[in-house]
Amino acid sequence: MTISKTVRKKSSPVPVKDRAYSLDSTSKLSSTMQIPLVSVVEDLDEKSSSHLEVFQPNRQPQKIELGRKELIIGRVSECGIYLPYSNVSRQHARVFGKGEEFLVEDLDSTNGTFVNGVKISRCILRNNDQIRIGETRIQFVQRKFRV
């Protein structure tokens, strides 16, 4: 039995002068103005934003910006989103940030928290997700920028 052996041929290097550009010359192509990466990141971080749009029955829609602090949704007036309805638990759910994401978590409420119609215990939120608590609809809106 003969075993044929494949030999990978080494490709001959392309002479520098034949390349479209050489590594030595890239500095000539770059901008003369240096932009520090850290300021780019900070700028994009400022542009990234997440908020909730709260639609309660017979009330004007409400916009709530989300930050690092957790937001409690419930029937007691101290809640970040105050829903004074009998089918809403005193502390019904919370929205909080974890890493780069926002999550909604049900706080063992009596009537449940729903995301896009599904009863959840916890859920990572994505742009345009609809949270439902009782008759209140809460839309999660996210504008994300990344480097």
Partner 1 sequence: MAKSVSEKIYVTFWGTRGSISTPGSSTEKYGGNTSCVSLQHDKTTIILDAGTGIRNLGIDLFQQMKQNNTGLKLHLFLSHTHWDHIQGLPFFVPAYLKGAKLAIYGSPKKEAFLESILQRQMDVNYFPVEMNALAADISINEISKEKLNIGGLTIDWQEQVYHPGGCVRYRFTAGNKKVVYATDVELDKMFDQRNKTSKNKALQKEYLKFIHGADLLIADGQYTTEEYPTKVGYGHSSIPLVIETAYQQKVKQLAIFHHEPQHSDSFLDRLCSQFTQKYAAKKPPMTIFWAREGMTVPV
**Residue closer to partner 1 (CB basis): 56 or 104:** 104
Strands, E assignment, 83-125: 93-98, 101-106, 113-115, 118-120, 122-124
CB within 8 Å of 112: residues ≥ 6 apart: 106, 119
How many angstroms separate the Cα of 9 from the Cα of each of 12, 16, 108, 123?
9, 21, 66, 53
Q: Which of residues 76-105 bind partner 1 (CB under 8 A)?
A: 101, 103
Say if residues 106 and 96 touch (Cβ distance below 8 Å): no
Binding residue (CB under 8 A) for partner 1 from 22, 25, 62, 116: 116
> Smallest gap, in angstroms, from Cβ of residue 112 to partner 1?
8
Per CB under 8 A, does 41 bind partner 1?
A: no
- Residues recorded for the chain: 147
Select 63 or 119, whichever has its Cβ closest to partner 1: 119
85, amino acid identity = Y
Min separation Cβ 61 and partner 1, Å = 23
Of 19, 47, 90, 119, which one interacts with partner 1 (CB under 8 A)? 119
Least Å from the CB of residue 122 to partner 1: 4
Residues making contact with partner 1 (CB under 8 A): 101, 103, 106, 115-124, 126
